[in-house]
Structure 1
């Protein structure tokens, strides 16, 4: 990635992290500004991606996190932030950014749940989420397990996911640069 593009993206992501950490919201004007900048820089500088590749990256970025938004696992700002990143990195790299983001998000959730003393609740929620994949009912799995929390369906807390998106993006771009 061209250094000025990387720096612009880094500044936008830092602002998004700050907004998400303080308000649990990422403002639309930041997302729109970043998206326009990503598409414009890719269109006029022709560094690695062009206009069409940038638009496809934008669409893929949105589609990758849209199911998480629809399931109310994360906010719309998170999905739009990944779409904005797609406008910068293009269609070839947005899937990798997404995968690195998921890993960073898991680690961040672990750290936040430990920090707030809600690790057990988070583990119970993960187990409840995975149960539909199994053909066993909840009552059969946990009838003899006294450690399973009856409050597992309660949230373990909010997570400023822009931090995970930023970490995943930064780690991917660093790995790509040093290859």
Structure 2
């Protein structure tokens, strides 16, 4: 196993999370557990795409869980979002979590604004839009776990580009 395999595992997991979140606004525990197992497996085999040790992965999980748990407790975030953030802590380490959180929150804010604009323009009859607007069961929401995994995937790609350009 080498770093490219770890990177492939991470991207595959991130894609599954993003698709599940966008389509159903639900991420099964089996997807979360698979990501956690892959992250720790890569950490133990020293083939993770972010170069995280097992100790860093464990600390990342705890920090990721504790950081977003209050938002879940207040009803502002789903449990899957918190669990995915914890798994990202295992993949990326705690040092990356603040940046990932900020990037994902920015993306989620842009998505929420887009939903507001498209909803208002449809109501006013200004725009005829028949495509999906991330509406599920009559509720508009942002797939935050997808935003998190896209931010982490973009960071991985940027790291790879930086290495190639050196």
Q: Corresponding residue for 1:173?
A: 156
Q: Corresponding residue for 1:53?
A: 56
Q: Corresponding residue for 1:32?
A: 33
1:97-108 paired onto structure 2 within 5 Å: 97-108=100-111
Structure 2: tracts of 5 or more residues without a match: 122-138
The separation in 2 between residues aligned to 1:19 and 1:49, in whole angstroms, is 26
RMSD: 2.2
Query: Is residue 38–residue 54 contact of structure 1 (8 Å, CA) maintained in 2?
Result: yes
Deviates more, 1:97-106 or 1:27-36: 97-106
2:93 to 90, 93, 106: 90
The separation in 1 between residues aligned to 2:96 and 2:160, in whole angstroms, is 12
Q: Corresponding residue for 1:9?
A: 10
2:65 to 59, 62, 67: 62
Q: Corresponding residue for 1:130?
A: none
The separation in 1 between residues aligned to 2:61 and 2:25, in whole angstroms, is 22
Residues 44-99 of structure 1 deviation map (CA, whole Å, 9 limit, x = unaligned)? 22652211101111111212222221221110001101111111111222222222
**Distance verdict in 2 for CA 1:61–1:15, change over 3 Å:** same
Secondary structure of 2:141's counterpart equals coil
**Distance verdict in 2 for CA 1:108–1:7, change over 3 Å:** farther
Structure 1: tracts of 5 or more residues without a match: 119-155
TM-score, normalised relative to structure 1: 0.70
What's the CA shift for 1:16?
1.2
What's the CA shift for 1:27?
0.5
Q: Give the count of matched residue pairs.
A: 142
Q: Corresponding residue for 1:158?
A: 141
Residues 14-41 of structure 1 deviation map (CA, whole Å, 9 limit, x = unaligned)? 1112211222111100001110110111
